[in-house]
Amino acid sequence: MGLRVIGAGVGRTGTESLRQALEQLLGGRCYHMFEIIAGRRDHVPVWLDAARGEYPVWDEFLADYVAAVDWPAASFWPELLAANPDALVLLSVRDVDAWWASASATIFSPRLEEQKARVGFPPDWPDAVLESRFDPQWREEGAAKEAYLRHNDAVRAAVPAGQLLEWAPGDGWEPICDALGVAVPDGPFPHANTSAEFQRLLGAPS
């Protein structure tokens, strides 16, 4: 069936909340970095190959999923859109300063490097993806912010307006449900994987 939603927003833009929301709305699994952390270590070399331009057959690789959000999939939104031309592209965004504050304290934190070593991830994961698909200087604030803005502008420029939904944390269910043509659930929109929660996972004070 292919992906119905391609999340083009980078990490720390509400992607785990989106994952939970999309799984509820679409009744299927949504790909997220947590899939790899939770056990799909076999996906790591596939993404590293993709960072070098050696792409998988996307429909086969992501055959178990109806949507994809977060790193590393968001870095490959053009390729995923080419493989799923009818999918909704969901660009999750937040203020660039707020994004950097969250990213630098969580997914770009040196503590994450320590955790990677402890659990046995390859030393180039996910650095090689970030360097080739985001910016070689992604650890530096200025370069990372410029890359974040450049990424979002590239999505806006390339995706037809009727196929693109720009969404920010706090927008809730309605824009997504309207774009997908589904009913708005009765319950609150998920709110998950806050910076404080992520820092606790890293063993850092919140």
CATH number at residue 39: 3.40.50.300
Task: Tell whether 206 is covered by a domain.
Answer: no
112: confidence class by pLDDT, cuts 50, 70, 90: confident
Task: Tell whether 82 is covered by a domain.
Answer: yes
Structural domain boundaries enclosing 63: 5-201
pLDDT at 38: 87
Task: Tell whether 30 is covered by a domain.
Answer: yes
Residue-wise pLDDT tens digits, 168-192:
999 999 999 999 999 999 999 999 7
Task: Tell whether 56 is covered by a domain.
Answer: yes
The candidate with the shortest Cα–Cα distance to 43, out of 28, 27, 13, 63, is: 63
Task: Tell whether 113 is covered by a domain.
Answer: yes
Residue-wise pLDDT tens digits, 113-142:
777 777 778 888 999 999 999 999 999 999
